[in-house]
Structure 1
Amino acid sequence: MPNHRLSLATLAQPQSLMLLCLGFASGLPLALTSGTLQAWMTVANVDLKTIGFFSLVGQAYVFKFLWSPLMDRYTPPLLGRRRGWLVITQLLLMAGLIAMGTRDPSQDLMPLALLAVWVAFCSASQDIVFDAYKTDLLAPQDRGTGAAVSVLGYRIGMLVSGGLALWLADRLLGWQATYWLMAALMLIGVIMALLAPEPDNAIPAPRSLEQAVAAPLKDFFGRNNAWLILMLIVFYKLGDAFAGSLSTTFLIRGVGFAAGEVGVVNKTLGLLATVVGTLAGGLLMQRLSLFRALMLFGLLQAVSNAGYWLLAVTAKHILTMGAAVFVENLCGGMGTAAFVALLMTLCNKSFSATQFALLSALSAVGRVYVGPIAGWFVELHGWAWFYVFSIIAAFPGLLLLLLCRETLRFTQETNGFLRRDGFAGPYRWALRLLMLGALLLGLGLFLMALQALEWMTVTSVTEFLWESGAALLTFGILSGCWFDFLSMRRVRRRNAL
């Protein structure tokens, strides 16, 4: 049952400080291979095509599940399975950032690109281990607060390596010294990983690499409502993703605010609201069950998008913009705290690194791919209807949450998982379609990278892989959801007899 002690003193406990610092170390490298690196290349007069190609560096965060089984299977010789990998990835990150600081984009573009790929790979690997660490460490009643504190640390790390790093590079230190300073700040994570406790090892690691790859999938897809839960993960924050995908463009081009006004409001009120919402969400989850927190915060996320709709249909006013940005980020922060707690709840501690990496990759689908759909919708229907649609887009996730209510309640109360029975053959084929679709999409991404490097031209093959992969992936997921629905009907009929 949830812990009913709701107090800010919870945030001052040693465990919370540890999660805050490790979250900071997890969020720090992200901007250094994306926005901050793009700014450095822009100042160095690198052409736009090359800068655009560097955005592919971030794909390491999407495909991190491919090597996550290695971190479940193997244990470093020192500090244990989780802390050992934490320290290793953090030290490799420091080395990569220091090396990036020795390069100049105008002269060493290819070495800088390779170093950026290396840093992104190590950063994604650190995320794998940190997600698994907090999943293994936190008791069910502490996951809400733990998720909130770690997300807060992550946001602070992104702010430091984003906005603060840009200011330091421009006004004080220069780009190379700024990257060295960011490398030094990674010591915060190293020190905390050395001081932190290793999670209970009562649940053993997989005995082989084959088991580390196959067992997490078999364990997850053998659960009750597994496919519906996958859809829940994709759709829960879909409305929030729609609203945020074009928010800056809307405020500047749609409403007419100056870029400076938008930047100040987003960096101050937006950040403050996210911090307050994340902490408030974590604290409230001590009083609420996981289902109730997800439902309440999901409804608030949906309603908060109405602030942008109000901006679209009323006269421009800075106070209206500030209120809309504050409320949307406040509710989004609360939803994020509950959502991260959900992902931790769904992970089996024997292979939490692999399962969390898979689930978090799925959760990024909406955020990554709504952009083209959002732009197309705005062009056809305008900004006001777009934000109405963003509210509507939040409700399929809430409907899926209702369908998964009993499954989530059982998991939170018992720290175990309901197993499904029946439809073994159809479920197996749905999983095969899912895996084949993911493989084709991965091959398409690889060919796209080769084309960007101008090493080969295979546009038609790439398009075929993307289209067929997406079709198989979608059909596999929809098939699995249909069999989940049939299974639920069969159980209800059985209980009615």
Structure 2
Amino acid sequence: MTETSPPQPMGWSESLRAFLHPRVITMLFLGFSAGIPLLLIFSSLSLWLGEAGVERKTVTFFSWAALGYSFKFVWAPLIDKLPLPVLTRLLGKRRAWLLVAQLLIMLAIVLMGSIDPVLGETQLKWMAWAAVLLGFSSATQDVVIDAYRIEAAETRLQAMMSSTYIAGYRLGMIVAGAGALFMASWLGSEKAHYVYAAWQWTYWAMAGMMLVGVITTLLIPEPEHQRAERHHYAAMDYTRLLLVFALAVAGFVTTFAISSALFEDLQTAVGGDAFVGFGLETLHLSLSIAVAVLIGWALVQVGAVNQAMARDTWIEPIAEFFRRYGVKTALLLLALIGLYRITDIVPGVISNVFYQDLGFSKPEIATAVKTFGVVVSIAGGFMGGLFATRYGVMRTLMLGAVLTAFTNLVFVWLAYSGHNVPVMYTAVTADNLAAGFASAAFVAFLSSLTSVSFTAVQYAIFSSLMTLLPKTIGGYSGTIVDSIGYPGFFTFTTLIGIPVLWLVWAAGKHLKVE
């Protein structure tokens, strides 16, 4: 990051008082609101679908509903510019968008709870659409909260606001993870005895938890000082950009649907091999993305959207990054960003199904993974921050890559051990310590690559890129497990982390990011 004069550090007493600042406390509640939705798409939903008898590969495909987090940079400028009728006048720009996002989250969770997946493929499709709505609206909430945090207080409070936000986020994850599993179990649903009403009431209760965020939004003031914009465009320009994006998405969906039969035939022709199938599906997805990009490019070229706005919003931040580092180093860095968390995210998609298949109950999973594991990950993040401060970002990044890759081998041990609680806790401890440690270093690394001239867009692109490929591969994790079993799968996730070690080493040769 471009160097600026750092603010003078606060004393201990002043720092402690800062945690009682109203803006800082606000972030605890907004963080809680942001932490609720994610696990309702991932782990809690995977256990629900598993109990309902849905195929493992179908369960893991639902993780794609969270890909909205990987593309949130696309509509972030729209949120930053477009006013909402009536609400913007009553609440202000940030609070209006925040309230709408939270209400959409509640609606999506209620819709998911209103659908019983055992009733057939049609119901599963409706649940998938509700999950997509949840992913889109929760990613939107994250965008608005980030903007609110930056604008709501001076620089000296930002670190405290981030700390309370993360604490609230982790609490929200515990409620949506461990809390949801305990509640569904208490209401009588188990793998051998599925009770739809238990999951229905659990999801409706999680929707009610979002009232914490809604009430906070209604009570807090709108930021007094908002950032000056580099460029001023008409609201209609952003609306046209939204329509172009919608047409590009429609092209992606249409291409994917039309070509599905062709790729299914190819998969059958090669005999159903998991890795060949993964390659074919990657090609299938790449083709659909290429069509979407082509549609967007063509619409920009014919003037469907303000070309100067499109260039300043999307092209210039990327061009500046390549100018600053050069093409070779920039491509190396982008490869590292896109692959660094692959050994963490890919096995995480199927982890709850894995525990369930080994015979662990929901209370056991809730206690070990959703409560104990979250606490351990916080400790891992603290350790990663200390290590980075003492030894530098790149060394910490390398150690984090080694830990996240090779701790997956502990899950191979667990796969052979079966229902073994001590081994499960060993695996959860190793996995969460490694993930927390690596994440702390990676956030520092991404921040160091971001130009202050394009902080919002570049960081959004980086954070989106780091989850895009891992989440895409994670969607196929059920298919891979069906083919090679859990020991083979976790060995595979270890092996795909080895190229990351070379990328970290190579990046360290080109950079001085300490």
TM norm structure 2: 0.61
* Aligned-residue offset at 1:242: 6.4
* Aligned-residue offset at 1:80: 4.3
Name the structure 2 match of 1:215: 312
Q: Does 1:232 align with 2:257?
A: no
For residues 403 and 89 of structure 1, the distance between their equivalents in structure 2, rounded to whole angstroms, comes to: 43
For residues 140 and 397 of structure 1, the distance between their equivalents in structure 2, rounded to whole angstroms, comes to: 33
For residues 311 and 43 of structure 1, the distance between their equivalents in structure 2, rounded to whole angstroms, comes to: 22
For residues 47 and 306 of structure 1, the distance between their equivalents in structure 2, rounded to whole angstroms, comes to: 29
For residues 63 and 163 of structure 1, the distance between their equivalents in structure 2, rounded to whole angstroms, comes to: 28
Name the structure 2 match of 1:402: 508
Task: Extract unaligned runs of 5+ from structure 1.
Answer: 410-497
Q: Does 1:181 align with 2:205?
A: yes
Q: 1:63 pairs with 56, 67, 71, which one? A: 71
Structure 1's 300 and 51: CA in aligned 2 closer, same or farther, altered over 3 A?
Answer: closer
Structure 1's 312 and 351: CA in aligned 2 closer, same or farther, altered over 3 A?
Answer: closer
| Farther-moved stretch of structure 1 (179-188 vs 105-114) | 105-114
Contact 1:300 1:331 in 2 (8 A): yes
For residues 160 and 384 of structure 2, the distance between their equivalents in structure 1, rounded to whole angstroms, comes to: 8
Name the structure 2 match of 1:418: none
For residues 45 and 490 of structure 2, the distance between their equivalents in structure 1, rounded to whole angstroms, comes to: 35
Question: Could you tell me which amino acid in structure 2 is paired with residue 19 of structure 1?
Answer: M
Structure 1's 95 and 319: CA in aligned 2 closer, same or farther, altered over 3 A?
Answer: closer
For residues 380 and 52 of structure 1, the distance between their equivalents in structure 2, rounded to whole angstroms, comes to: 14
Q: 1:331 pairs with 434, 438, 451, which one? A: 434
1:86-165 alignment to 2 at 5 Å?
A: 86-102=98-114, 105=117, 106=119, 109=123, 112-134=127-149, 147=162, 149-165=164-180
Number of positions where the alignment pairs a residue of Structure 1 with one of Structure 2: 402
Q: 2:223 pairs with 185, 192, 198, which one? A: 198
For residues 113 and 239 of structure 1, the distance between their equivalents in structure 2, rounded to whole angstroms, comes to: 25
Q: Deviations over 1:429-459 (max 9, x none)?
A: xxxxxxxxxxxxxxxxxxxxxxxxxxxxxxx
For residues 100 and 313 of structure 1, the distance between their equivalents in structure 2, rounded to whole angstroms, comes to: 35
| Farther-moved stretch of structure 1 (384-393 vs 179-188) | 384-393
Structure 1's 49 and 405: CA in aligned 2 closer, same or farther, altered over 3 A?
Answer: closer
- SS of the aligned residue for 2:392 comes to helix
1:390-429 alignment to 2 at 5 Å?
A: 392-403=498-509, 405-406=511-512
Structure 1's 379 and 134: CA in aligned 2 closer, same or farther, altered over 3 A?
Answer: same
Structure 1's 153 and 340: CA in aligned 2 closer, same or farther, altered over 3 A?
Answer: farther
Question: Could you tell me which amino acid in structure 1 is paired with residue 204 of structure 2?
Answer: W
Structure 1's 354 and 250: CA in aligned 2 closer, same or farther, altered over 3 A?
Answer: same
For residues 248 and 48 of structure 1, the distance between their equivalents in structure 2, rounded to whole angstroms, comes to: 11
Q: Does 1:72 align with 2:80?
A: yes
- SS of the aligned residue for 2:202 comes to helix
TM norm structure 1: 0.63
Contact 2:174 2:371 in 1 (8 A): no
- SS of the aligned residue for 1:123 comes to helix
Question: Could you tell me which amino acid in structure 2 is paired with residue 18 of structure 1?
Answer: T
Contact 1:231 1:400 in 2 (8 A): no
For residues 378 and 199 of structure 1, the distance between their equivalents in structure 2, rounded to whole angstroms, comes to: 57
Name the structure 2 match of 1:292: 392
Name the structure 2 match of 1:171: 186
Structure 1's 368 and 52: CA in aligned 2 closer, same or farther, altered over 3 A?
Answer: closer
Contact 2:405 2:495 in 1 (8 A): no
- SS of the aligned residue for 1:203 comes to coil
Structure 1's 66 and 160: CA in aligned 2 closer, same or farther, altered over 3 A?
Answer: same
RMSD: 4.7
Question: Could you tell me which amino acid in structure 1 is paired with residue 168 of structure 2?
Answer: G
Task: Extract unaligned runs of 5+ from structure 2.
Answer: 1-5, 188-196, 239-305
* Aligned-residue offset at 1:350: 7.8
Q: Deviations over 1:205-239 (max 9, x none)?
A: 64223455432330342131254442332233345
For residues 347 and 135 of structure 1, the distance between their equivalents in structure 2, rounded to whole angstroms, comes to: 16
Contact 1:36 1:161 in 2 (8 A): yes
| Farther-moved stretch of structure 1 (117-126 vs 368-377) | 368-377
